[in-house]
Every structure is written in C-alpha cells, then in structure tokens.
Amino acid sequence: MSKGRNTILYIGNDQIFLDDLMAFDKVFWPQNTSEVVQLPITREWLQGAHGQIFTRMPQLVFIDFSDGANFKMLNPQFYDLLNFVKKHPLLKRTPICGTFISEEQLAENRNLFASGLSYAYIKGDLYTTLFEDSYYLAFEDKIAFPRYAMASEINLDYQLKMPVVVKNMNADKIVIESDISFREDEEVEGSFNFFEDFSGKKFTVARHTSLSSRNFYLCGQELFIKYAEPWDEVTEDSFLKETVETWVEFNKGRYAKLFPAILLVNDDNLFIYDLTVSGLSGKCDLCFSYELENQFLQVKNNRPTIIMLELDESEMTDEMLATKYRGRKDYLRSNTDALMMLTSFIKTLEYYNPILVLFNSPSKSEAIRKVCGYNSILAHNEKMSTAVIGELISFYQANKKSSVDDDSLSIPLASQKSMAAINIPVKITGLTEHEITFLSSYSLPLFSILKLDEPFEMYLTIMPSIRDLKIVPGFHHYMAFISGTSETRLPILRQFITQLIDHPPKEFKFYPNEVTEVDKEIEGKEIIIEKKEKKVKVERMAVQWVRDEKVKSKL
Amino acid sequence: MSKLNAKILIVDDEEHIVNFLALTLEDSISEIIKAYNGREALELVAKHPDLVCILSDIKMPVMDGLELIREVRKTNKKIPFIFFSGFGSEKYMAEALKYGAYDFINKPDLENAEEVVLRAVNESLNGQAATGNLQNKLKDLF
C-alpha cells in the first residue's frame, strides 16, 4: 500500500460482492488513491484478520456474516475480532459494516452491534445503498444521496432502544456499558435476556463511570434492580428478588465472574494481538489501553485489581513524541515519572490498593516501592510476554480469593444473555426509507446505534446530518441512517411513510390495514349517505304516493 | 559465615561513611574498593570489570551518584547499584530509578546495609533466571 492511500478491507468469500465493491470504489476514487483488499474467511482466518488490520489500518471494513456455515463455526471469533478492533484507539472510528443473509440471522446476532458493528446490510440484488452509506460513514463526503420521499414534521414521541451490553450482574445490580451518560439516580427502562421471568423494566442508575472497560462504549453504569416490595401488587413487570437470586445462584458455575480485573497498558499492536489469541482474555477481566491517561480515569472508574505497565525510559525527541501521540496532550508515556504520578493518584482513592506490575523495569521492586511510597509493586526486568502474564494471572487466581463482587456473574459477550436494550425517549421529526431524524434530551455520540421497532425492527446509526436540522432549545436534533432491512420489507416502510404523510397519526405506529380502514370508513359514510338518500327517496315516494292518492280520490 | 568471593565498590564523599560500610561488610565480602567521588568511582569501574555491586551516595561533588550510574549504564546494564538516601534526595532517587537502582538505604540505617548488599551480590553472582525470580517475587507480593 502506498503512503496516503485509503484501504478498504473486505473479510469474506463472496466474489460478486467484491467485484461490485471494487467497481464502486473505482468510481468513488477515480484517481486510484485507494485499494480494496480481500481477506477470505477460512478456519484460520482470525490470525490473518488481526495481522491484516493492524498492518493496513483500513479506513473501512466489510465483514460478510452471510456465509452461514463459516459464521456458525467462527462465531465467537467474530465477536473477539470486532471487540479487538473497536478497543484500539487508532481503529475506534473505522466503520465495520456487516452483510447478513436475512433479518432473522441479524436478529439472532444483534449483539454484534454491541461488539462494534456500525452498520448491517441484508443481502439483496444491489449493494448501492450499502456502499454509499458505508463510504459516507468512513469518508463523510462526496456522496450524492438519492432524494427519498420524506415524512417531515412528524413530531411524535417514541421510545428508541439503545443496545447495551451486560458486563456482569448479581441479584442487586446489573453493570452495563453504553454510549449514553445517564445521570445517577435516574430511572430508566430497559429489557434484558437473562431468563424468561426477568421481565421487569424499571431500574435506577446507581453509579456512572465515564469509561467502559470491555467494549468500545464510552460509559459504564450500575443499574439497581427495582424489586416489588411485599405490599406491592405483583404485575407482569415486577421483579421478584427470590426468583433472581435463585437464577444467579443456579448459574454461578456457568458464568463465574472473571477475576482479576486487569488494566494492561501497551502500545505494541502485535503483542496485544498475541495476547488476545492466547485466550487469556477469557480467563480474567482483561482491559487493554494503548496509553495511560493523564487523569487516570481508566483507573479511577474501573478500579482494576492489577495494573500492568511496560516502562519505556528511552530518549524521545519532541518530534517523536508528537508523532507517537499525534498532538494529544492527555496521555502519559509509561515511564518512571508516570509511575510516580500513578502511585500518588492511587493513594488518593479510598479502599483501593491495586498491584502494579512493571515490565521492562531497569530498577528492582524494593527500590521502586521506597521511592513511590507504595508497597504493592512488582518489577520485572523483561518486556511483557504472554507467558509471564499468564503465569501472573494463574498465580493470582490460585492464591487470592475473588474480591467484593464474587457473587456476580460475568456474561460472555457472545451470549444472548449479554444483550440488553435501554429505552431512549425521543421525538421523531422526519422519516424516509433511508434515514430518520429525531430530537433527544440525551447527548448521543456520532455512530451510536439505536433500534427502531416501527414498522419492524431496524437499526439506526447516528451520522453527521445530510439534511438541515432545526435547532430546538433543550434538545439535540439527530439524523441516523437506517440499516438492517431487507429489500422485501422496504415496501412496508414506504407504506408507513405514505401513511405518515397522508394520514398523520397521533402516535408513531404503523397500521398495516389503515388504508382499508379508511376505505371502510368512507364506505360506511357512503352507506349512511345512501341510507339517508334512500330515506329521503322513500319519504319523497311516500309524499308522492299520498299526493297521487289524493289526486285519485278527487278524480 | 564464609566470605563471598566478590568485589564491590563503595563511593561517598564522606570518608567515615565509606569506612563504616567497609567495616560492616569486610567479614562478608572478600574485596572492597573505595572511592570518594563519582569520577574516581568511574575510573575504578573501568579498572575492575569484575565488580559485582556498587554502593553509592547520591549527592557528591565532582560527579554525583546520578551521573555515575548514567555513565556506568552505558557499558554495564546489570551491575546492581545501591544508593544511600538522605533527607532531600527524593528527586534524585526518582531519577536514579530510570537508570536501574537496586535499592536505597537510608543513611541513618547503614548498619542494616549488609542484608541488602549480600542479596544484591548473590543475585549478581548467581545471575538468577528471570522466571525463577518472578516466582519468588509473586510469593512475596501475593
């Protein structure tokens, strides 16, 4: 790849799709400033996928999930790959667009959105919309979208659903990760998939953290489950504590909480890749970070049990630092100075004593402990390696009990039980078959994913708007692309839009028989008119008959 | 206890400290070399490549302990450096960590230096494998 070229990576085996993509790309970049690279899906593809992605740093990725046999076989690996890419700070904004064979396949795997999927496309005859939308996602300009019929100024309330992911739960609370900054003590409504009777909807946000540890979401929250009190009437939406406790107890073996929680700071892409494929991330709650943040939010909010740093005391010029950190001022090099700041910071946090494991350390543990005034430090003179980290984790797990929340269940990301959705009240202002506009009191980051269920399940990706949006004080006005719909369902969406235009409803709801109902109403009115006319006619006839009789009698 | 067959260097601009330490260690270490500033020490390091440990003050005239370790580390990354620390040397201690400090001993506690020095000398002589060392460190920490 020559310097400055954009790279579009296609992970899949569909040659027709690839040909169409390359043809589109040629039109989009006529100066040949991009390349489309294919990575076929095979049994060993995951290793190749990581390497290709880090070597090429693509601006856009397509993953073909539609090959059912391959997808089933490699399902957890797809989640790992998505997660891995989305956690990497340099790839965070690389859109990943997935193609699916059907809406049913997408619905079964909707947690891919929680892992980092930006856009979903149900395969059909043409890929134009997919390519246009995905290139807009990646490059933001140069796309002349078709003008779709729009139902505008709808102004109807609706509850969109934001997919969130469950990190762990116990009988008292659920820890989720999402893109929204909910307020503490706020009451939210959501739906979870733990078990059938977990049908309650109301939760209270207990604690908000500004960083997510596992996924690419921006925030983490603890939600307290609102249980029915003994004096409350038990309804379908009630939570019964005993039921939840029993379920948690029953599943402790299956979803044992991963511990320890580890923050691993390392900017070596290949090392992180090695660590991910080694399987260690399945044995403990492992969170990677490219760098230490100078406010140590990763530490403050997530409170990892172990923090692993690889020290780098090499001389770096200002130019080298500027290149490495790309002008950002909010990161720290992992060196002794940062270590001093980190230990000082840790000492300000109550009831928190993580173990700091330092790699590539020129100094010994005892020396560092004395200088930092912090005893829980282990210094190792060699660089980070999977073997040593594995040994540390095993040793820790063998010798230490799990900490405070050891009755919590850690739900694997690939499990349906980790899927959840929180209701986001919005006011829908416009709808086409391609995009939707709405007002929200929440601040939603670009590329957030939301779910719309009317007239059927669709996914919305918040984008920089291609329309002028009215400014409404106190609200954010958003535009989102619609994805995840098949060509066979589009007519229903179009019908809905027509309804919204022609017969503005009082609620944002699709009435599939509404046209017939109106007809029936009209018909009914006609029947009434007809009856009235008939009555008048009969009356007239009666009057005429009377007149005629009178005339007859006179004669 | 038998003497360790090892050569160490003690550096301090205060002669009485150098002598005190030499006296403390003479029963445990076979050969002790003395220096009274960093430059002298550097010359002796070059002359005695079989040194296995350096005990050094941080603040010294002519060449201080930081500069000494910086210079030594250009050619020898492994030799343990044990520094004497006193009031007001925190900044220097932190700086010394960047070059590879083995340990720090408070000047008022110099009589306890023997244990630290023997540990450093033994490690230096035995060149303990990283993994084996790690296991021991884990046991201490966890």
Neighbours of A535 (CB within 10 A): 10
A contacts of B129 (beta carbons < 8 Å): none
Dump pLDDT digits (tens) for B80-120: 999 988 767 788 899 999 999 999 998 888 888 999 999 99
Q: What is the ipTM of this complex?
A: 0.93
Q: Do A304 and A384 reside in the same domain of the chain?
A: yes
Please check whether residue A23 lies inside any domain of the structure. yes
Residue B131 has pLDDT above 50, yes or no: no
Residues 6 or more apart whose CB falls under 8 angstroms from that of A5 comprise: A33, A34, A35
**CA contacts within 13 A on the Cβ side of A324:** 17
User: Is A188 within the bounds of a domain?
Assistant: yes
What residue of B is the nearest CA neighbor of A395? Answer: B138
Of the candidates A123, A146, A124, the residue with the CA atom closest to the CA atom of residue A133: A146
Same domain, A204 and A167: yes
Bridge partners of residue B80, in order along the sequence? none
Looking at the structure, tell me whether residues A328 and A211 fall in a common domain: no
A268 and A251 together in one domain: no
Residue A416 has pLDDT above 90, yes or no: no
Q: Do A367 and B130 touch (CB under 8 A)?
A: no
CATH of domain B4-141: 3.40.50.2300
Cβ separation B142–A355 shorter than 8 A:
yes
Report pLDDT for B129.
45
Confidence of residue A513 (pLDDT cuts 50, 70, 90): low
Hey, are the CB atoms on A367 and B98 less than 8 Å from each other?
no
pLDDT value of residue A537: 56
DSSP string for A281-302 = GGTSEEEEESSEETT-HHHHHH
Upper half-sphere CA count for residue A370 (Cβ side, 13 Å): 22
Q: Is B122 helix (H, G, I), strand (E, B) or coil?
A: helix
Question: What are the pLDDT digits (tens) for A215-254?
Answer: 456 677 889 988 877 777 766 667 778 888 888 888 887 7
Half-sphere exposure of B2 (CA within 13 A, CB side): 3
Domain around A274: 261-404
Task: State both tokens at B130.
Answer: 């990283």
A227 & A135 share domain: no
Question: Are residues A249 and A209 part of one domain?
Answer: yes
Q: Quick one: pLDDT at residue A523?
A: 46
- CB contact under 8 Å between B131 and A388, yes or no, is yes
Mean pLDDT estimate for chain A: 81
The pLDDT score that the predictor gives to residue A2 is: 38
Of A467, A490, A471, A498, nearest to A480 by C-alpha is A467
A517 pLDDT more than 70? no
Please provide residue A426's backbone torsions phi and psi, each rounded to the nearest 5 degrees: -135, 170
Phi, psi of A233 (to 5 degrees): -75, 130
Cis before A76 (ω within 30): no
In a domain, A531, yes or no: no
Query: Residue A75 maps to which CATH number?
Result: 3.40.50.2300
Residue among A353, A371, A375 with most chain B CBs within 10 A, to mutate: A371
Cα separation values, B35 from A325, B57, B73, Å = 44, 11, 18
How many domains does chain A contain in total? Answer: 3
pLDDT given for residue A373 in this prediction: 93
Same domain, A387 and A269: yes
Domain spans of chain B, in order of start: 4-141
Residue B107 burial by Cβ neighbours in a 10 Å radius (0-12, 13-18, 19+) = middle
Query: What are the pLDDT digits (tens) for A124-167?
Result: 878 888 999 999 988 876 677 888 888 888 899 999 998 888 88
The DSSP symbol for A258 reads P
pLDDT at A354: 93
Which domain-ending residue is among A370, A404, A438?
A404
Question: 10 Å Cβ neighbour count for A332?
Answer: 18
The verdict on residue A505 lying in a domain is no
- Do A393 and A267 share a structural domain? yes
Q: What is the model's pLDDT at position A4?
A: 62
Q: Which position has the higher pLDDT, A356 or A203?
A: A356
pLDDT over threshold 80, residue B142: no
User: What digits encode the pLDDT tens for the residues B18-41?
Assistant: 999 999 999 999 999 999 999 999
Is pLDDT above 70 for A535?
A: no
A505 pLDDT more than 90: no
Are the Cβ atoms of B101 and A363 closer than 8 angstroms? yes
pLDDT of residue A181: 78
The answer to whether the CB of A453 falls within 8 A of the CB of A421 is no
Q: Are residues A267 and A400 in the same domain?
A: yes
Comparing A169-173, B47-51, B102-106, which segment has the lowest mean pLDDT? A169-173
- Give me the pLDDT at residue A72, please: 73
Picking from A335, A340, A395, the nearest residue to B142 by CB comes out as: A395
Q: List, in sequence order, the alpha helices (H) in B78-128.
A: 90-97, 113-126
